[in-house]
Amino acid sequence: MFYPKSHAVIGASAEARKFGGRFLQTLINFGYRGVIYPVNPQESEVLGLKAYPSVADIPGPVDFASIAIPARAVPGVLQECVTKGVKAALILTAGFRELGEEGQRLEKEIADTAARGVRVVGPNCFGVYCPGGGMTILPGENLPRESGPVGFISQSGGYAVRVPRRADGLGIRFSKAVSYGNGCDINECDLVEYMHQDPETGIITAYLEGVKDGPRFFSLLREVCQTKPVIIWKGGLTQGGARAARSHTASLGGQEAVWEALFRQTGAIRVNNLEELLDTTLAFLHLGPLAGQRICSIGGGGGIGVAAADAWERAGLSVPVFSPELEKKLLGMIPAVGASARNPVDVGGPFPAPPMFRAVMETVCTDADVDILVVDEIEMAMAMPRGGQMFRPPEAMQEMVRVPLDIKEKFGKPVVVVMPVEAVSTAWLESEGERRKIRDLFLQNHIPVYLTKERAAKALANLTSYYQRRGMLISG
Amino acid sequence: MFYPKSHAVIGASAEARKFGGRFLQTLINFGYRGVIYPVNPQESEVLGLKAYPSVADIPGPVDFASIAIPARAVPGVLQECVTKGVKAALILTAGFRELGEEGQRLEKEIADTAARGVRVVGPNCFGVYCPGGGMTILPGENLPRESGPVGFISQSGGYAVRVPRRADGLGIRFSKAVSYGNGCDINECDLVEYMHQDPETGIITAYLEGVKDGPRFFSLLREVCQTKPVIIWKGGLTQGGARAARSHTASLGGQEAVWEALFRQTGAIRVNNLEELLDTTLAFLHLGPLAGQRICSIGGGGGIGVAAADAWERAGLSVPVFSPELEKKLLGMIPAVGASARNPVDVGGPFPAPPMFRAVMETVCTDADVDILVVDEIEMAMAMPRGGQMFRPPEAMQEMVRVPLDIKEKFGKPVVVVMPVEAVSTAWLESEGERRKIRDLFLQNHIPVYLTKERAAKALANLTSYYQRRGMLISG
């Protein structure tokens, strides 16, 4: 794999308020492993690195250039990059076609120059986060240094950093996240094609505002979706959203009906916001191929079971009825009153005794004909301090947390946990810390954790529909 | 207002594992101000209080009785309560009509006894949380002692405690929250009617699985919704959910289409889960009567604006186009590139300088013809520690937080803030603490705060539709 060994930062300065200064500092802090050449005609040194008046003055080869200078100077500098033999350039500068005619003209010049021998990401973008290559996006100096199997393509710079940042806390790691802005040269199709071939990328995700070449995008998705899931958040599908997208990246959005048809006909997965994108990614990451949509959920209350069944069925998942034999077995385990042996199972309250909880989980795994097991609003530790005490003593807590982990290991069945943030007050921050620790332990063991039933349901429906369709395509 | 001055706990014991024991302890810990009489034929003292063998043995009058004894003994004990002159009783015990024929017979007996002179809440419920009367629900010893304007009626015991507990951290306070379970005497209609007349209750919320008397419920809602909003989460609208509701409270759910018609024809507000119920309550609590649905949102990025417009319009709200004069004014304030003076406004990034942010907010308030102002994903403090530092120094942070507060005060226009939890990792718990503190400050000043645009959109759509309809009813 090609990683740039030398990187010219054109428009580098010591001022963190300027894009070029901020980007250079970010690159240094993130730990770029190649040589960095600041380019600035007014400085001989920037942030402790020798600076050069122009890219032409740099001795030796330059693999990559980042450009953060006023828009009207960009075409000339890009031509210098071509002359120097720079292989790829990133144009952070905004103020091109999203700003009207003059900007359109400048952007056309850039595209023409690119065609003469340099690949361009941007303009009007935040760049490329690629931990394997020691590269990061403009405000991404704190993003994880480890790689992972998720690729992210984003027309928005803001979301190009918000998605991996939010994902970080959920243990989702990226092969590459690319903010490509106006996409005057490298566009969404090129990036999907690249990630399709990229062995580091297993799941492709995207935030898109518009697509340059509809027919190419369509046939590409049809092909890619047969081997890798492509999860797309399409921004600007409403009237107001389309208007905003024109101001943002000068994208022509396309109508909802057209996009709906695209999703239906290609098998790409539609999500409608950042949360759905991450929730769905989490399901693909941890549960893998899964075509069945039959859910058994085990919850800590009667109302919880009612709400759960509503959530699963509204998302298109099914809640099969248990056999009389299974119901009978479960009736022997759960409390005689205030509980339910039907699906969704109600273990009688949010604090079941760990051995009973384990017996119910094991029995359901052995006897029920279901595809996914959901542990729903059962308290693993505490929801909040209770008179200064946790609800469960630490040993019992550990015993509870072990149950889903052991079940997953023993039966190899997909297990999903729904753990809402109950303790939303500032005073109970510590218990939110406990919740997060338990969440992390589940995530490390391939048990996806969701904040609400509805979010779990949407993610699981997205996952199972994709594999159902793919199975049909493969077998058909 | 009538508060019970004496309260018999029938089935009281020192064992916290038993319902009666737990309930007595909860009542004591919560700080019930009247006299408590434990009733237990085997004990002379329970938790330091003199115990009585039966309710008949208690000297002096008993206003209220809680019953937590095996189901088959309940009818007899309830009859003793009638004889004693107890005005109202709470039956915590489960195992009645939700468990089949024998349970149905027992429940019928209770209803018949109730008709002879005692009002009954339950059976199969968690009771009444009424901070003004020093009463609380079974697992509700940590619920706030202060009252507020929200009433909650719940067929689920679990949600009867989860809703006020979660609401606590959002500053939502309750007049009463009632878990009424099988509702053999006092049912959802009685409770809605009561809360309609209750001067302490301004907003009525409910989790329902079924309704005993459809026509009465319908005409009641039509009347109540003309003066107080009624927010209803109806559980069991799917096939699986309806099946679960039959196991839970033996409720016959009713079809989705019937309920849809009820919402449409009565003006009651439909919500589909706990989060929507609280989000919508927050909007009613802080924004009050508001019939206009025109949103202006001010966000920290181009993609954020696109996503925001999509969220508002999908929920049925509108995103009006600004006048050319207003756009021109805003263009003089925001950065020349990488920002947008259109609605939704993009101030160029999530960390605008406070004076610029203030100028934009003021200008929009003065010149735009909008009903609600949304501050969308603009960082008030930090999203997370950044190299050990906050993004903003504390003074700048305070300056930022002042802006929405001052604007709300100066222009009297509804302001809403969308503040996602960006720092979802365990390592960044402290920054979640910062977020919550800022959230609390906004909530204290009647600025509702939402975790996502979609949740804000749904809540605002619910609020404005209600008042639009009510305005029509009043003026028509």
pLDDT digits (tens, 9 = 90+) for A24-40: 999 999 999 899 999 99
Q: Is the pLDDT of residue B399 over 50?
A: yes
Across the range A300-318, mean pLDDT stands at 96
Q: What is the mean pLDDT of residues B99-123?
A: 95
* B263 in a structural domain: yes
Does one domain contain both B402 and B363? yes
- Assess A327–B contact: CB distance below 8 Å, yes or no: no
pLDDT for B160-175, tens place per residue? 999 999 999 999 999 9
Q: Identify the domain boundary among A242, A272, A302.
A: A272
Say whether both B130 and B115 belong to one domain: no
In this structure, the answer to whether residues B450 and B464 fall within a common structural domain is yes
Residue of A nearest to B155 (CA): A303
Residue B433 has its nearest CB partner, among A155, A249, A426, at A426
- Subunit contact B309:A158, Cβ cutoff 8 A: no
Residues in chain B closer than 8 A to A244 (CB atoms): 302, 305-306, 308-309, 340, 342, 344
Instruction: State the pLDDT confidence band at B381, using cuts at 50, 70 and 90.
Output: confident
Check residue B431 and give its pLDDT: 86
User: According to the model, what pLDDT value does residue A391 have?
Assistant: 65
Among A94, A307, A337, beta carbon nearest to B99: A337
| pLDDT surpassing 70 at residue A389 | no
pLDDT class of A252 with cuts at 50, 70, 90: low
Do B65 and B98 lie in one domain? The reply is yes
A392 token code pair? 């469960």
Residue A348 counted as domain residue: yes
Per-residue pLDDT at B390 exceeds 70: no
Contacting residues of A for B318, CB less than 8 Å apart: 240
Residue A476 in any domain: the answer is: no
pLDDT for res B302: 93
Element housing B450 (H / E): strand B449-450
B337 and B460 both lie in a single domain: yes
| Cβ contacts of B261 within 8 Å, gap of 6 or more | none
The domain that contains A117 carries what CATH number? 3.40.50.720
Judged by a CB distance cut-off of 8 A, whether residue B245 touches chain A is: yes
Confidence class for position B217, pLDDT limits 50, 70, 90: very high
**Residue B123: is the preceding peptide bond cis (ω within 30°)?**
yes
Please say which residue of B272, B297, B329 terminates a domain: B272
Nearest to A244 among B274, B305, B454 (CB): B305
Q: Mean pLDDT, to the nearest integer, of B355-361?
A: 97
* Alpha-carbon span A430 to A448, nearest angstrom: 22
Reply yes or no on whether the pLDDT at B23 is more than 90: yes
Considering the domain architecture, whether residues A360 and A465 belong to the same structural domain is answered as yes
Cβ contacts (< 8 Å) between B124 and chain A: which residues?
338
pLDDT on residue A473: 46
Using a pLDDT cut of 90, give the percent of chain A over it: 82
Q: Residues A8, A47: one domain?
A: yes
Residue A383 has pLDDT above 80, yes or no: no
| Closest Cβ opposite residue B156 in set A29, A303, A429 | A303
Query: Could you tell me the residue range of the domain that residue B250 belongs to?
Result: 125-272
Query: Is B476 part of a structural domain of the chain?
Result: no
Please check whether residue B283 lies inside any domain of the structure: no
Residues B267 and B294 in one domain: no
Q: Give the best residue of B306, B370, B386 to mutate against chain A (max A CB count within 10 A).
A: B306
pLDDT tens for each residue of A351-382: 899 999 999 999 999 998 999 999 999 988 76
| Chain A residues closer than 8 Å to B245 by CB | 306
For residues B380-401, give the mean pLDDT: 71
> Is A169 found in the same domain as A116?
no
Band the pLDDT of B37: cuts 50, 70, 90: very high
CA distance B306 to chain A (A): 5
For residue B427, the model assigns a pLDDT of 87
Residue A474 has pLDDT above 60, yes or no: no
Q: Is residue B445 part of a domain?
A: yes
Measured between beta carbons, the chain B residues lying within 8 angstroms of A107 are none
Q: Would you say residue A172 has pLDDT above 50?
A: yes
What is the number of structural domains in chain A?
3
Q: How far is B435 from chain A (nearest CA, A)?
A: 9
Residue B408 has pLDDT above 90, yes or no: yes
Q: Which chain B positions have a beta carbon within 8 Å of A209's beta carbon?
A: 303, 306
In this predicted structure, what is the pLDDT of residue B38?
97
Predicted confidence at residue B352, as pLDDT, reads 92
Same domain, A31 and A84: yes
Q: CB of B252 within 8 Å of any CB in chain A? A: no
User: Does the pLDDT of residue B474 top 50, yes or no?
Assistant: no
Q: Are strands A49-50 and A45-46 parallel, antiparallel or unpaired?
A: antiparallel
The yes-or-no verdict on residue B475 having pLDDT over 50 is no
Q: Do residues B138 and B117 share a domain? A: no
Please check the confidence at residue B201 and state whether its pLDDT lies above 70. yes
A62 to chain B, closest Cα gap in Å: 28
Interface of B with A in 136-155 (CB under 8 A): 141-142, 154-155
The pLDDT value given to residue A476 = 36
Give the per-residue pLDDT at A463.
97
ipTM over 0.85: yes
Of the listed ranges A211-220, A315-324, B76-85, B378-387, the least confidently predicted one is B378-387
Residue B29 falls inside a structural domain = yes
Residue type, position B50, single letter: K
Digit-coded pLDDT (tens) for B220-265: 999 999 999 999 999 999 999 999 988 887 776 678 889 999 999 9
- Give CA–CA dist A242/B355, Å, rounded: 30
B189 and B103 co-located in one domain = no
Q: Does A307 touch chain B (CB under 8 A)?
A: yes
Chain B positions touching A235 (Cβ under 8 A) are: 303, 306-307, 310
Q: Domain boundary at A272, A301, A330, which?
A: A272
DSSP-derived letter for residue B71 is G
Q: Is the pLDDT of residue B382 over 70?
A: no
pLDDT value at position B476? 36
- What CATH number is given to the structural domain containing B412? 3.40.50.261
In a domain, B277, yes or no: no
B303: which chain A residues are within 8 Å (Cβ-Cβ)? 154-159, 207, 209, 235, 248
Q: Which of A141, A302, A383 sits opposite B249 (nearest CB)?
A: A302
The pLDDT value recorded for residue B304 is 96
